[in-house]
Amino acid sequence: MLIFMFHVHSFIKCILLCGSGWLFMSSELKSWSDSRQYCRDHGADLVIINTEEKQRHISSFIKERVWIGLSDRENEGIMKWVDNSPLKQGFWARGQPDNYQERNEDCIELMPSDAVLENWDDRPCLENKRGICEK
């Protein structure tokens, strides 16, 4: 079961008591790398979305653009998750990924959308957003 944590006190309890499978959102807007470090500092990492069920679940909670644990920072066009596994199934918005105007759009955000199976976008990694962490 996946749970989304928002409150600081619940988050602290989760860090101490939760097993794997818990999700929480970072409290501050950060670059992709800084968001990943925030997750790692709290015993987690940016979320890996590798099933339609998980994609639907996470999409049902988000209200803003957020970082997920996917990028092609190491090799343009080769998407890898933070655990170094390759992307097998993507949930891209139309026309994505596009590396728009070759702006080094190497990090992947999940956007709030009614089209929950088509809401990933590649963005410049230095943009500031919250990250979704998975413990």
pLDDT digits (tens, 9 = 90+) for 2-45: 444 444 434 444 444 455 678 999 989 999 999 999 999 999 99
- φ, ψ at 12 (rounded to 5°): -60, -45
pLDDT of residue 13: 42
Segments in the chain forming alpha helices (H): 8-17, 32-41, 52-59
Confidence check: pLDDT of 118 > 50: yes
- φ, ψ at 101 (rounded to 5°): 50, 30
Domains, the chain, with CATH or none: 3-134 (3.10.100.10)
pLDDT of residue 3: 44
pLDDT of residue 98: 86
Quick: pLDDT tens for 64-117.
Answer: 999 999 999 999 989 999 999 999 999 999 999 988 666 789 999 999 999 999
- Token pair for 91: 């949930």
pLDDT of residue 101: 65
Do the beta carbons of residue 133 and residue 44 sit within 8 Å?
Answer: yes
pLDDT of residue 18: 53
Please count the other Cβ atoms lying within 10 Å of the Cβ belonging to residue 22.
19
